């Protein structure tokens, strides 16, 4: 099955266990409960959203105006039960007045820029809240 372009970014966006800081703490990433589990780095992107909810890629930094936290272009597609990148799926989701021609041009550029379809390039180690030490889904 060919997956539609999920959110996918060009690294580096940090490595190791979800970017633990010097104090040994771990960032909490909020994702849709139906989001698929993150696959191994190098596997086909399944739209889990971990990478883009953690840190924006270089394109996402421009779109979001920040280097940390969820990218503004990340959105949840309920029918597909996947996260998507608005730069690839349609930037008018973010900028409704963007001309169609500019949207299409941006789609082409974004696909190349974020290497859509090239596989998961995020090596963050993630665990669900209930699986983390002291965690709970309650
Ligand atoms: S690139 Fe990896 S972490 Fe990012 S959405 Fe795709 S599968 Fe998830
Ligand atoms: S621009 Fe797209 S691929 Fe990059 S971080 Fe944002 S949602 Fe993810």
- Tokens, residue 9: 């970014």
| CA-nearest residue, atom 4 of ligand 1 | 51
Q: Which ligand is nearest to the CA of 29?
A: 1
Give the closest residue to 8 by CA, choosing from 121, 125, 93, 112: 121
Q: What is the pLDDT of residue 14?
A: 42
**132 DSSP assignment:** S
Q: Using a 6 Å cutoff on CB, does residue 9 contact ligand 2?
A: yes
pLDDT in tens, the chain (138 residues): 223 345 654 444 443 344 455 566 778 899 999 999 999 999 999 999 999 999 999 999 999 999 999 999 999 999 999 999 999 999 999 999 999 999 999 999 998 888 777 789 898 888 887 665 555 544
Total-model pTM: 0.80
């Amino acid at each position: 099955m060919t997956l539609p372009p999920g959110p996918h970014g060009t690294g580096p966006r940090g490595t190791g266990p979800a970017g633990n800081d010097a104090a040994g703490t771990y960032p909490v990433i909020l994702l849709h409960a139906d989001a698929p589990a993150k696959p191994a780095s190098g596997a086909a992107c399944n739209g889990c959203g971990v990478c883009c909810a953690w840190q924006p890629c270089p394109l996402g930094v421009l779109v979001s105006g920040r280097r940390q936290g969820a990218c503004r272009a990340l959105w949840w597609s309920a029918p597909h039960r996947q996260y998507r990148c608005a730069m690839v799926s349609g930037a008018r989701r973010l900028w409704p007045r963007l001309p169609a021609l500019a949207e299409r041009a941006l789609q082409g550029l974004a696909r190349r820029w974020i290497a859509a379809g090239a596989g998961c390039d995020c090596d963050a180690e993630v665990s669900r809240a209930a699986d983390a030490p002291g965690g709970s889904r309650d």
